[in-house]
Amino acid sequence: MDSWAACDVPSLPGTGVVPLVHDTASGSRVLSASGPTASLYVCGITPYDATHLGHAATYLAFDLLVRAWLDAGVSVSYTQNSTDIDDPLLERATATGIDWQGLAARETALFHSDMAALRVVPPAHYVPVTEAMPLVVELIERLDAAGATYVLDGDVYFSVEAAKHFGEVSGYDAALMRRFAGERGGDPDRVGKRDPQDCLLWLAQRPGEPGWPSPYGPGRPGWHVECTAIALDTLGPTIDVQGGGSDLIFPHHELSAAEAEVATGTWPFARAYLHAGMVAFEGEKMSKSRGNLLFVSRLLAAGADPGAIRLALLAHHYRSDWEWTGDELEAATARLSRWRDAVALGGGPAASPVIEAMRAHLADDLDAAAAAAAVDAWADAALAGDAADRTAPALVADAVDALFGIGLRPSP
Ligand code: 5CA
Ligand code: ZN
C-alpha cells in the first residue's frame, strides 16, 4: 500500500548529530544509527479509530528521530505496518455494522491524511498485514522447521522456550508478563498451552470471520508475527530501531524479537528499542477501548494549526507519560505565533547557535522541549530587537521546519 504524501525537509548548514537514544532492553543510551543507513520499524495503527493524540504523539517522536537522522546525513529505511485484521477491528466492525475492510480502509485513509497534515515524514514501506500473508506464512514455516511451534485445537502457537533471549527486551518478571499478556491481547490462561507466554502464530478461521490459506488450514495471523515478518522482509535480520508506545514493550516487542531470534538465529532483533510514553485524557490512558479519545482530524477541522498540534505534543519529552488537559493547544498556538512573528521581522540574532543547540538537544535522547526552548530564546531576542542578522530568520525557519516539521513562514 502507498504511504502518505511526503513533505519537503530543508537541508541545514553544517552537519547534524546522530542521536543517542534510550534503549528499553539495555536501559542505557545507545547510538541510534550504526552506519550510513538507519533502519527503523515503527508499529503502525490498528485502523478502527484513528488518529487520536496518543497515536500522534508516538508517531511524532519517531518523526523527530527520522528528521535528526536526515539532518546528520544518514539515509533512512523506514517501515510501518497496519494491523488491518485483528480481533478489535472485527469487533468494532460487527458493533457498527460496517464490513471490516470498509472500516479499515476508512480509518487508514484518515490516519494518512492526519500524518500528511502533521508533516510526518512517511515510511518508505507501508505494509498492511492483509498484504503480507505469504510473508507471515513463510515465517511460521521457518519457526515450525526450527521446532518452535505446536498446534492447540487447530491454532498454531509459538513456543517461547525456543528463544534463548526471551524476556530481555522488557526485563519483566513472570508475574508482570502474565498480567500484561492478559491485558494486551494475549491468552496466558488458555488451557493446553505449554507456557503462559506462548503466543498465537496462526488462528484457525472462526465462523463468520475472514481467513487466508495456509499449510495449517485457513485462518489469520497472531499479532506479533505480522510485525516480525514485515520487519524481516523489508529491513533484514537486524534493525537499528524498533519503536512504538510503551504499551508495546510487552508482549508485542518481546514476542516479535523472540520469533525473529528463532527464525534468523541472530540476536538482537533491534539494536535499540524505543518507547514513547502514554498520553492520558480525563485521568486515563487515551485508548480506543476506553473511548476517551481526542482526534487530530477533529482538531484540524475545528481550525487548529497542524504546527501548533505538533508543538503541543513535542513540548513533552517523548518518553514521559502525560495528560492532555486542553490548555496545551492554546499555549502552543501562542508560542508558534511568537516564533512566526520573530521570523517575519527580517532580522535577529545569528542562527547558527540556535541550530547547534537544537541539534545537541535532539541528539540527547530527542529532547524536543529543550530544543524548542532554544527557539524561544532566539525569538525573544529577535522580538526585543537585540540583533539584526538578516540571514537568521530564514535559517531559523529552515531549522524548525527540518528538525521539528513546523513551518514558520506564511504560506504562499
Ligand atoms: N497495530 C498495533 C501495533 S502493531 C497497535 O498497537 N496499534 S494501536 O492503534 O493500538 O496503536 C498505535 C501506536 O500508538 C502504538 O505504538 C501504541 O503504543 C501508540 N499508542 C496508543 N495509545 C497511545 C497513547 N494513549 N499515548 C501514546 N501512544 C499511544
Ligand atoms: Zn507491531
Is residue 32, in this structure, part of any structural domain at all? yes
Q: What is the pLDDT of residue 412?
A: 54
- What CATH number is given to the structural domain containing 307? 1.20.120.640
Is residue 148, in this structure, part of any structural domain at all? yes
How is residue 52 annotated by DSSP?
A: B
Domain holding 153, by residue range, is 20-276
Q: What is the pLDDT of residue 411?
A: 66
Q: What is the pLDDT of residue 32?
A: 98
Answer yes or no: do 122 and 189 share one domain: yes
For residue 58, report the distance from its CA to the centre of ligand 1, in Å. Answer: 7
Q: What is the pLDDT of residue 290?
A: 81
Q: What is the pLDDT of residue 326?
A: 86
Closest listed residue to residue 202, CA positions, set 221, 215, 216: 221
Last residue of a domain, one of 276, 299, 318: 276
Q: What residues in the chain have per-residue pLDDT under 50? A: none
Q: Ligand 1, atom 14: nearest CA belongs to which residue?
A: 55
Contact 231, 79 (CB under 8 A): yes
CA distance 145 to 407: 52
Answer yes or no: do 292 and 246 share one domain: no
Q: What is the pLDDT of residue 291?
A: 80
Answer yes or no: do 288 and 266 share one domain: no
- Please tell me if the CB atom of residue 408 comes closer than 6 angstroms to any atom of ligand 1: no
Closest listed residue to residue 156, CA positions, set 203, 224, 117, 192: 203
Bridge partners for 128 per DSSP: 82
Domain count, the chain: 2
Contact 401, 408 (CB under 8 A): yes
Question: What H or E segment, with its residue span, contains residue 165?
Answer: none
CA distance 158 to 178: 16
Answer yes or no: do 240 and 122 share one domain: yes
pLDDT per residue as tens digits for the range 34-82? 899 999 999 999 999 889 999 999 999 999 999 999 999 999 999 999 9
CA distance 212 to 200: 15
Question: What H or E segment, with its residue span, contains residue 215?
Answer: none
Query: Are β-strands 75-82 and 239-245 bridged in parallel, bridged antiparallel, or unpaired?
Result: unpaired
Q: What is the pLDDT of residue 276?
A: 98
For residue 29, report the distance from its CA to the centre of ligand 1, in Å. Answer: 23
For residue 319, report the distance from its CA to the centre of ligand 1, in Å. Answer: 14
Answer yes or no: do 349 and 267 share one domain: no
